[in-house]
Amino acid sequence: MKRDGVRVMVGESADLLQHPRRNLGNRYRTQAQKFVRLASKDPERFDENMAWAEQNARQALLHDFTDERNWRCLADIKIVVQDGLGLCAVIEDVFIVLGRDAEQVDQLKEIDFLLVGLELLEAAFTRDPLDPDIWWATFMEAESLEAELEDFAQRCRRLDFSDQRANIVYGRRLERIRVGGHEELFIELARHLLAHRPNNHELWMELGRLYERREQMDEAWSCYDHVQQLQPHQTVRDSFLQRITGRMMGEEAKPWTAPSIEKRSQFLEHMLQLSQRISTLDKAPEEVITVEEEVVSIHPDLTRLQSLMDAGDASEAFFLARRLVSQGEEWAEEWVSKAKDSF
């Protein structure tokens, strides 16, 4: 849906959003602010300069949606050009990135966003800072950290994190929870986020490192395997195998080997079950096609994969295909690639 160009712009650059780049965000924001100043000094070229300002502000968000200054920059421009609907769309997008219900904005349609839009934006950032360190600091200042964490966990369990920006923002918050010593909560919620967006390789990496420190080697290998599947140039799975094998060789212990097919399948089955909680597709029965009295049975998992991809449920398709590959179903490799391409 295109409201003022922000959503479409973001959606068309999914790869960039996976890795927010602060330096490029800063550069484009600075350019946007320069054009705003030029517009104020040259009334005859006001519209032209403000158009350039908005374009650069959008580019700043494209490259770094985790910097609140980039959102404020675009919101300020909307105020200058008196675009209330555009400001409403910006705030709606902020709500999505923060994992909040965008319908909350719809309830404010009768409000003059040119008067209160900036106030709403600041209220959202005060409650939910995009910077994970600032966000964690607010938790540490709470009277009851455990109560705050439980509220956060309940919120995570009911939110839709299919928007990769929200997935990244919350993934980095979970890293702070892990560093704070709440490892079990981190594992639970990390798996929840990954079920929504399996291509968050940053979170797979953090989960793998935690499992390795806890000496849960099979689980660590499975996480690193996902990272290498998603980012083939990062040979973290192979490095882990070399690292753990070298450690074992120096001890009088049986060398560690990669998880068995059964263990890999169990891990992927668990992730598949998590992804099914958010799937929009019901289970499909085995399909039978009759052609000139000859009955051809189509593999039910193939039918399921086709239906999932048609319905846009790439996350569930990804885990189903990977589980099938781990069980020796080589034909499913094609569907792993198809699901990855749809992220």
List the chain domain ranges: 6-127, 132-249, 263-342
Residues 73 and 57: their CA atoms lie apart, in Å, by 6
Fold of the CATH domain 132-249: 1.25.40
Instruction: Report the chain's C-alpha Rg in angstroms.
Output: 24
* Owner of token pair 């059964």: 262
Query: Which of helix, strand or coil describes residue 88?
Result: helix
CA angle 10, 2, 94 (to 5 degrees): 55
Residues 91 and 128: their CA atoms lie apart, in Å, by 13
DSSP state of 299: P
* Segments of the chain scoring below 70 in pLDDT: 1-19, 101-106, 108, 245-299, 326-327, 343
pLDDT tens digits, 156-207: 888 877 788 888 899 899 999 999 999 999 999 998 888 888 888 888 889 9
Residue 27 token pair: 């550069």
Q: What is the structure's pLDDT at 46?
A: 97
Please state, as a whole number, how many other Cβ atoms lie within 10 Å of the Cβ of residue 104.
13
CA dihedral 54, 52, 14, 278 (to 10 degrees): 20
Helix axes 183-196, 314-326, angle to 10 degrees: 100
Q: What is the structure's pLDDT at 236?
A: 84
